[in-house]
Amino acid sequence: MKKIGTILLIIPLILTMFYLPVNAKAETLRDYQNKLQAAKDDYNKNQAEINQTQQQINQNQKEIAAIQQEFKDMALEIEQMHQEIAEANQEIKDKSLETKELFQYLQMANGENMYLEYAFGADNMTDFIYRLSIVEQLTEYNNKTIADLEKLIEENNQREKDLNAKEKEMEARQVELNKKVEELTGKKASLGDISVSKADEVKIQQEYVDYLISQGCEANDVIGVDCAVSNTAGVFKRPTSSGYVTSEFGYRWGGFHRAIDISNKNPYQTKIYPVANGVVTSKYTDTAGALVLVITHRMANGQYYSSLYAHMSSYAPGIKVGTEVTVNDYIGYMGMTGNATGPHLHLEIAPCRLYNSADKNCYRWDDYVAYMKRIYDNGSFGGPRDLINFPKAWVTYNTR
């Protein structure tokens, strides 16, 4: 009998072990408040880095503008040089023809040559020598002119080569600067313009802490145990009464799609419901303008899930952080707010608590994104279809 009694005492302890949370440790309100302050400090640091990055972008853009102006000045200078070279070539052509005629006079005694006629038209020997001297001087002048013009052309050609080389160098520099600006702009985007900005993350955490306080949580209360205890999630269901899948969870278009996209024949009249019972833990507009809602679900075994609903056209009345919802409570309407090519519901489901400081995998947006990709790549989670049956198209006539 004593052995049986001991066994009966042990069984409740064993059963309790199966219902312990599997992905979170006990956290108090003070823990949440401390992490909120850390998030605010991180946000301020992040803003300073954004400002510094923007200053670097502005400086590089000024340098690019200066190079572009120099390109314009160089283009005008090169155009002017081409004109000067063309004029010099024409003058050389004219002078070469004249010199050729003079050489014909000097080398050949051709009576028909105008210079020969000019020389022999002298009245006396003195005048003849004088006229011959003039012809020789003209020849020398033309030869010198041609030499000067050829030197000018050579110098201009060399200068044009130098300018072309400099132009290529500046083009390479511009490419380098453009790449730098692109990198800095991308850095700025990763710092402040991602799907959820640092400012939004602080706001979301602040709203959740305010909700915990409104639930009567004290500094040393364990969240989910001493206060803010939520009902279990129950069975997962589809988020709309009818619809069809337009895009799957996984890789697409060169990136990782964390959601399953759902549309409907009458999208703007389509109500959206929670995929399971839970608590609204985030409500915000993302950086692209999409209306977003996040609901946290607690399973009977202590496992937590988060469901994220994006691109909604509007929220249901009374929906706010802390609202407890069931699968029968509509939370909003389908839409195409934010970065969407058409009206649809972007549904994400994750085996963690998004934006919750007690969850190291999904506390920050970047961590959440990396976590979702990681568990998909290692085959441990396949997205919403792991929890909900989505046919190609469906119509549910019964009420939820």
80 and 144 belong to one structural domain:
yes
Residue 111 falls inside a structural domain:
yes
Q: Based on the fold, state whether residues 241 and 181 are members of the same structural domain.
A: no
> Is 370 among the domain residues?
yes
pLDDT in tens, 143-164: 777 787 778 778 777 877 877 7
Q: Which amino acid is at 296?
A: T
Say what the pLDDT of residue 30 is.
Answer: 86
Question: What's the pLDDT score for residue 24?
Answer: 45
Q: Mark whether 257 and 387 lie in a shared domain.
A: yes
302 and 167 within one domain: no
Domain end (from 164, 192, 220): 192
> Are 125 and 76 in the same domain?
yes
Least confident of 28-42, 76-90, 275-289: 76-90
Q: Do 188 and 234 lie in a common domain?
A: no
Query: At how many degrees (to 10) do helices 125-192 and 198-214 cross?
Result: 10
Which residue bears the tokens 């195409």? 336
Any domain includes 225:
no
pLDDT at position 64, please? 63
Over residues 94-115, the pLDDT tens digits come to 666 666 665 555 554 444 455 5
* Contacts (Cβ under 8 Å, ≥6 apart) of 372: 256, 258, 348, 350, 381
What confidence score (pLDDT) does residue 346 get? 94
Position 160 in a domain: yes
pLDDT tier at 11, thresholds 50, 70, 90: very low
Do 117 and 261 sit in the same domain of this protein? Answer: no
Q: Does residue 259 share a domain with residue 181?
A: no
Q: Is the model's pLDDT at 85 over the cut of 90?
A: no
Region 368-389: what's the mean pLDDT? 95
Q: Are residues 157 and 303 in the same domain?
A: no
The CATH code of the domain that includes 91 is 1.10.287
pTM given for the model: 0.59
Q: Which two tokens stand for residue 196?
A: 């959820």
Q: Is the pLDDT of residue 191 over 70?
A: no
Domain extent at residue 252: 230-395
Higher-confidence position of 296 and 36: 296
- Contacts of residue 268, Cβ cutoff 8 Å, sequence gap at least 6: 313, 333, 334, 335, 343
State residue 234's pLDDT score: 94
Asked, for residue 249, whether it belongs to a domain, the answer is yes
Q: Which residue has the higher pLDDT, 177 or 302?
A: 302
Distance of alpha carbon 6 from alpha carbon 10, whole angstroms: 6
Do 239 and 381 fall into the same domain? Answer: yes
Domain membership flag for residue 130: yes
Do both 175 and 299 map to the same domain?
A: no
Query: Rounded mean pLDDT of the chain?
Result: 78
> Are 144 and 92 members of one domain?
yes
- Asked if residue 33 belongs to a domain, the reply is no
The total domain count for the chain is 2
Query: Is 247 a member of any domain?
Result: yes
Mean pLDDT computed over 334-347: 87
Q: Which stretches of the chain are DSSP H helices?
A: 2-17, 29-107, 114-120, 125-192, 198-214, 365-377
305 contacts 296 by C-beta, under 8 angstroms: yes
